[in-house]
Each structure stands twice: as C-alpha cells, then as structure tokens.
Structure 1
Amino acid sequence: MTAQGVAGLQRRACLLGAASCWLPGAAHAGRQIEEPLMDSVRGALSAAVANSAPPKPTFGQFNDRLVYLRWLGIMGDRLKKRKADDQMRQEFLETLWYESKRAGLEPALVLGLVQVESGFRKYAISSAGARGYMQVMPFWARTIGDGDPAKLFHMQTNLRFGCVIMRHYLDTERGDLFMALGRYNGSRGRAEYPNLVFGARKNWLMPEETAPGVQTAQR
C-alpha cells in the first residue's frame, strides 16, 4: 500500500472491531458502478484479466518460499471453519495469494474484502447481481472479459477480475485505499464499507504484522 493510501486510511473514521466482521450475514455485496473507460484503460484491463497463467508462484530465494508456505499454513488454519475441505481451501488460498500479488495488492486486504463481500461463498449472488467470492458485477465480463458472466463463478476468474478491478480503482484514486474500496462497493466517500474491510483485514494479518510497533497497513 502506498504512503498516500495509508494516510487516507488513517484520516477516516475509526475501524470497526475485527470480531464484528465474523458475524453471520455481515456480507456487504458489491455494487460496482459501470463507468466509461478510455480505450487504453479498457485494453489494459482486458489484457490483465486475459492472461491465464496458473496460480503457481516462483521464488528467487528459498526463504521466500518458506515464508509463503508458512502463510498458507496459518491462513489455512484460520479458514477451516469457512472452508472445511482441505484441497478446496488450499487451492483457494494459493489462487488468492497469486492473484493478490499479481495485482500488487496485500493478501490480507483481499481476504478481508472477500470476507465482507461474500463470506467466502463461491456462488454468492447479491441483489444487484454481483457474483462470486469478490462480488464482481456482470458488466465487467462484457467490458473487459469475453462477455460470459457465468465464468465469474470460476474461482480463479473471479479472484482475477476482483483483484484487477480493485487495482484499477486504487490507481484511479491515486493510492487512496478508503476511496478505492468505496468505489468497489459503489459507496464512494462513505465510511461503512471501507471500515468493514479494514476491520476484516485484521483477521488475516500474519502474527508478526499485528505486533506492537509494526506497521500493518502495507501493500
């Protein structure tokens, strides 16, 4: 996260308690608003979602791989109540980590966003028609995809679209995460949704990221 994004986070209202984000029915489904896109932006977003590289990370240093495997283990334990099947949980976390890093987003932020948006329900559909884990609106499939909104229920496709869209909004807002999250939810400028995501994000930080004196609001 950029310094500007951190500043945007800090100058807003206090975060809601993380525990409240675990309450049943707490999902706040996305209502991204369809906005005109410049051809260059549409082309860049289309290219970003079209790359079908498999979610298998490569590491330059052995220690980096150990850090990744530790993250998988800790997050897997935390997610067990939400996703009981070991293989499905592993695949979900591997894909989310890959797509988060690919888009330059913090995995803890994306996990918090998924928690608030869909409660980790793969086939969640909002009253506005948003779909899947990251509650992607169907118009995105037409605007930057192949036009088939049914594919938004595919795990990697949904996480790919959601992360690319979130990155687009963050760039549009020049690093202001509060405003970018508002855009993602269709509630730009209002505090409720960003504060829910910020609170949920706390559930997915690594232990050392919550230690006193450690800056946790990082990309």
Structure 2
Amino acid sequence: MTTAQLNLLKPVRKVLLFWLVFVFLTPSLPAAHAADDPYIKTVWLTLQAGRLSPYKRFFKNEDPLPLLNIVWDTAEEHHLPPELILAVIHVESHFDRFAVSRVGAIGLMQVMPFWLPVLEQPEANLLVDKENIELGCTILRRYLDRESGNFDRALQRYNGSLGESTYSDKVKIWWDYYYF
C-alpha cells in the first residue's frame, strides 16, 4: 500500500479501535435479567450473597439477602443493571448503611439530602435501605436519561465530578466484579 492509502485508513483504524475498546471494556447490560424469571433472580441473589460475605458485618443479622432483594427489585423498576447499583453502593459506602460523607451524603448510595424535596420525598429516611436505594436509583436514572445513556457521564454527575473519570472508573471496576 502507498503512503496515501495508509493515510486514508487512519480514521477507519481509530473507529475500529474505539469500537473494540467500547465492546470489551464497557460492562454490558445483562440480557439475563428478566424480572419475571425467579430462577435467574435466585441464582443472582446466591452469587451476590457470596461476593458480599466480606461485608456481612454491615447487614442486619449478617444476612445480605434482604439488601440484595431490594437492589434487584429497585434496579428492575428503574431499568438499571442491579450489578451497577451494587457497584455504586460498594464505591460510595462499602455497604455501610450509616455512612455519612464529609459533604453530608447519607446511606448506602450516599444520597445528598437536598434531593429529598427535589424528588418530592421530604419525609424519606436516607438511613433506611429501601428508601436510600430507591432515591439513589431515581437520581442515577435521571442522570442516565439526561446523558442519553452514557454511563460514564451519568456516574460522574451522580458523584458531582462531571468531566473527571476517577469515580466512574472505580464504579466500572466494581460493576465488572458484580457482573452476573
């Protein structure tokens, strides 16, 4: 091939490289998450319970299943991968429901209290797992819609770090870990 022909292929190589990186490094949305299939949910719950064993001290009666059920059901309601929610919880609070950040974010998904009136939930208790996860999923879904499905930008917005990839990269690492 001549130099001119090789130069014409450079943009094609860049597109192919981007596509390969996107396909192999971005967690895919599992097609297996069917809300109406109790077998898949049971297998998912069992697998994730084992993965959460290092954090059992944070669970009521050292049992992660109630929390995992909340994560699964709430993620399904918001059309989010439940592994993504586990990854956000892992990065935000390490599964400590009583975690409070230095800027005032509260609970498992580290929801900022200013969201309560915004989401018309002024009486919500951010220390209650179901309420915290519900609000966190609502916020994440809102950002994901705003960013046209771009998980990196949605996660950065969730963390208040738009334009910086450190947070979204951490979440993606754990998303891969919890991937089913």
1:71 to 44, 54, 57: 44
The equivalent of 2:169 in structure 1 is: 195
The equivalent of 2:138 in structure 1 is: 164
Structure-2 separation of matches of 1:197 and 1:179: 12
Kindly indicate whether structure 1 or structure 2 has the higher relative contact order, using CA contacts under 8 Å at least 6 residues apart: 1
1:104 is aligned to 2:86 = no
CA distance 1:97–1:156, shift in 2 (3 Å): same
- Give CA deviations for 1:70-102 in whole Å, capped at 9, x if unaligned: 111110111111025566411000000001111
Question: How many residues of Structure 1 are paired with residues of Structure 2 in the alignment?
Answer: 151
CA distance 1:171–1:121, shift in 2 (3 Å): same
Which aligned pairs between 1:1-219 and structure 2 lie closer than 5 A? 10=22, 59=36, 64-84=37-57, 88-148=63-123, 151-206=125-180
Q: Which 4+ stretches in 1 moved above 3 angstroms?
A: 84-88
CA distance 1:58–1:189, shift in 2 (3 Å): closer
Structure-1 separation of matches of 2:151 and 2:75: 15
Q: Which runs of 5+ in 1 are unaligned?
A: 1-6, 16-56, 207-219
Paired AA for residue 194 in structure 1: S
The equivalent of 1:210 in structure 2 is: none
Paired AA for residue 163 in structure 1: C
Q: Which runs of 5+ in 2 are unaligned?
A: 1-18, 27-33
Structure-1 separation of matches of 2:108 and 2:120: 17
Query: 1:106: how far off?
Result: 0.5
- Give CA deviations for 1:152-190 in whole Å, capped at 9, x if unaligned: 111100000000100000000111111100000000111
Identical counterparts, % of pairs: 32
Structure-1 separation of matches of 2:158 and 2:132: 14
Q: Greater helix percent: which structure? A: 2
- Give CA deviations for 1:40-87 in whole Å, capped at 9, x if unaligned: xxxxxxxxxxxxxxxxx972xxxx211110111110111111025566
Q: What's the TM-score, normalizing by structure 1? A: 0.64
**RMSD of Structure 2 on Structure 1 (CA):** 2.3
Query: 1:10: how far off?
Result: 3.0
Query: 1:108: how far off?
Result: 0.9
* Secondary structure in structure 2 of the residue aligned to 1:121: coil
CA distance 1:146–1:205, shift in 2 (3 Å): closer
* Secondary structure in structure 1 of the residue aligned to 2:38: helix
